[in-house]
A and B are shown apart, each in its own frame.
Chain A
Amino acid sequence: MSPDTAVAAAPAAVEVFAEEPRRGRVRTFLRRHPSIVLGGAILALMVAIAILAPYLWTTDPQALAPRLRVRPPSAEFWFGTDMLGRDIYSRVLYGTRVSLIVGFSVALLASLAGLAIGLISGFIRLADGIIMRVMDGLMSIPPILLAIALMAATRGSVENVIIAITIAEIPRVSRLVRGVVLSLREQPYVEAAIAAGTTTPRIIIRHILPNTLAPLTVQATYICASAMITEAILSFIGAGTPPIIPSWGNIMAEGRALWQVAPYIVFFPAVFLSLTVLSVNLLGDGLRDALDPRMAKRV
């Protein structure tokens, strides 16, 4: 669900951000990019919640208490209880872990795989044709649908959800990297390096990677946001993480039947999910502005 498929995929981010902000400029940098501060702060809070979940007055998020089911928020159950009497507060807090793990893992795996494929495709002409046909094919299956179809073919587990969403995201990253590689190869200094007999790995490390990193980071944040939403959607329609795992999508899926009588079951995970995705999106927007002034002007 990256908002900038079209823009980010274009090899725009080429002449790069040579001057990194010096340490003294950190404060100015942050002031100039409030969305990084806001997004980063919310995200840091979520990470803290995920790590500290057991110490934040939570109980066992899986413990059932059918005699205390569907209780509204109270002093005892801060976010209420669900249809099996589980404490929603604890489930939502532990759910942060699932959402962040899925988001971060997919962003990382899709970036690495996309980087590898994009590099191969950009440097090995022979492979390029085949790889790009395959990527075109994968890209013409709408990502959520592809993830759904992959989940239908396997068993519901967090690992499988990560793999399914990653596969659905790889083509876009590969295209991005390939675009950067192809346009850099045209650059006189890279051409010169090639002519001078510099080995390919060296060219990749010296010239390609530094220039890919910025657009890739921006893309990765969007993939992270998109993966968290996709995970929720998968769980919501029953094709995601197994119901025993307290993920936000699962809590909402179980609560949606009671939307009318117990809206809090859906409300709290929905707020946490939206907030987390928002923070990652803000971070992405901010990073893009900061890392690529040319793109920033555009979007």
Chain B
Amino acid sequence: MRRRDFLGATVAGAAALAAPAVHGQASAARVLRIVPQANLTSLDPIWTTATITRTHAYLVYDTLVGMDSSFQPRPQMAEGWTIEDDGKVYTFTLREGLRFHNGEAVTARDVVASIKRWWARDGFGQEIAKRHASLVALDDRRLRLTLQKPFALTLKALGKANASPCFVMPESVANTDPHTQITSAIGSGPYRFVREEWNPGSRVVYARFEGYVPRQEPTDWTAGAKLANAERMEWHIIPDPATAGAALQSGEVDFWEIPLHDLLPVLRRNRNIEVVVRDPIGSVGMLRFNHLVPPFDNPALRRALMLAVDQENYLRAVVGDDPGMYATSYSFWSRGSPMHTEEGSEPLRVKSLERARAALREAGYAGQRVVQLHASDFPTLAALSQVTADLLRRLEINLEFVATDWGTVVQRRASREPIERGGWNIFHTTWSGPDWFDPASTLAMRANGTGAWFGWPTSERMEALREQWFEAPNQAEQKRIATEIQREAFRVVPHIPLGHFLSPSAHRRNVTGVIKSPIVLFYNMGKSA
């Protein structure tokens, strides 16, 4: 018995003072304290592709179309839709009772403005944008998208859940220039962003939005009901894994999104903690080349380096000894995707320093300097990057290892200059599985030169195949084309895939409603007392 309770019981009679104590406990049970994977630095999910901002956005915003666990588009804010004129005219009707956090009703005009801002930035969105003839609000609750020619993936794009989903914002916010960051966080999602309590780098707070009307269907990823089971959600940003682990063990926080793999055994041993694999597909690692500057503008050199790569070394550097936590994947498409195939992957199975050395010589490598960008502040990226550095050293490549933070890497990777003027040759990053799902979602497989993602590979054949893929009539044909793209990719080597690894979450046993999905979704989670 706590001393406070004891004093209460003796001095003033139990009944009178027990009430506030019970109330105090109940409210603690309604507050969910989460250690998210990173600090929330931007509130604009369209401006940045940072996962943490997307996680924030899925609490605060809603989407017109959701995606269920079989990767199919389902209505979310939309009550439903009709497709007419051979798939050229889409008419969406909004559900009744949708409200923004400022109390205003969600109208079709808000949705139209939000879609337009989204498709100015998002790659998949751009595919609709370039095919569209008009997008207009018919009245408060209906909007119509008219295409010049049918595009079978329209709904998939609107419902996409990987980098830059199409979140709906108030029209006034959505009219912001797509290249300017918004600082507002007013959406129509199940949680309200509590700005007064936002302490960047330390605390982010959300409160249940009482005006949210969930769908009737059961929760299924971003489709179905979105329930605000916890009255209040606090993100505790703890960059030091040791501290975060200790906080979870002592019950100071309830949920840790991505514990360090090495701490999992300790957490599993704790009776009050459950370790769950929330995302069964996991993440994929990538070694990305810059295709514009020497020496890796030479495809033969990129192919040569691939011969030395042993995915298992990378994966174990990240996750450790538990074989259940990683899987090699000799593919440019992620595991779990219907497009996944290991055809053409022979070079990635060679794993030989000798062969790589010979190939490097043959390709004419003569000691040119190689600049590798390294982010020290993300343990996963740091591990991948150091394995490559070690590999390059063993291959006697003249390496300049530039160690900074992720923010600087993000900034510097945008430079197309030669290395003498701040350019780069190699950096590493990871993606969530759905980001490598198919040609529509895989930003890194664009090969349209300077229009492509950082590294700017060029392959007319890959681009032509991609166009064909969008027009493919069925999945079998899609798969055939995706396999062709992969064969070409093993020749061009836009990047080297480093395999899959799982990033389990850990939480106190009384946490309920954890959604298992490759997308990080914090709604539905609650706490039993």
A interface residues, Cβ below 8 angstroms from B? 62-64, 66-67, 69-70, 83-85, 155-156, 238, 242-244, 256-262
Contact = CB atoms under 8 A, between A and B. Distances in A.
B489 interface: no
Categorize the interface residue count of chain B.
Answer: 20 to 34
Interface of B: 240-242, 245-246, 260, 262-263, 265-266, 312-314, 316-317, 320-321, 374, 376-377, 379, 382-383, 386-387, 389-390, 393, 401-405
Contact of B317 (A84, A242, A258): A84
Contacts of A242: 374, 401, 403
Contacts of B390: 62-64, 84
Given A84-B386, A156-B403, A244-B386, A260 B316 contact: no
A242 B377 CA distance: 12
A64 B314 CA distance: 11
Per CB-CB distance, the 8 closest pairs between chain A and chain B, nearest first, are A242-B403, A66-B317, A64-B390, A257-B241, A66-B316, A259-B242, A66-B313, A257-B242
Contacts of A256: 240, 242
Contact of B383 (A67, A83, A238, A262): A83
Contact of B260 (A69, A155, A257): A257
A258 B263 contact: yes
- A62, A66, A85, A242, most chain B CB atoms within 10 A: A66
A237 B104 CA distance: 46
Nearest to B313: A66
B316 A67 contact: yes
Chain A contact residues: helix, strand, loop or mixed? loop
Chain B contact residues: helix, strand, loop or mixed? helix
Contacts of B263: 257-258, 260-261
Contacts of B262: 70, 83, 257-258, 261-262
A152 to B, nearest CB: 10
A154 to B, nearest CB: 11
A244 B389 contact: yes
A238 B406 CA distance: 12
B265 A261 contact: yes
6 contacts: A63-B390, A64-B313, A66-B312, A66-B387, A67-B312, A257-B379
Contact of A243 (B246, B316, B386): B386
Contacts of A70: 262, 320
A238 B317 contact: no
Nearest to B399: A244
Nearest to B310: A66
A70 B261 CA distance: 12
Nearest to B379: A257
A93 to B, nearest CB: 19
Given A156-B403, A257-B241, 15 more contacts: A64-B386, A66-B313, A83-B317, A83-B383, A155-B404, A238-B376, A242-B374, A243-B376, A243-B386, A256-B240, A258-B263, A260-B245, A260-B266, A261-B262, A261-B263
A261 B270 CA distance: 14
A84 B383 contact: yes
Contacts of B374: 242-243
A206 B389 CA distance: 55
A46 B389 CA distance: 29
A61 B313 CA distance: 18
B383 A244 contact: no
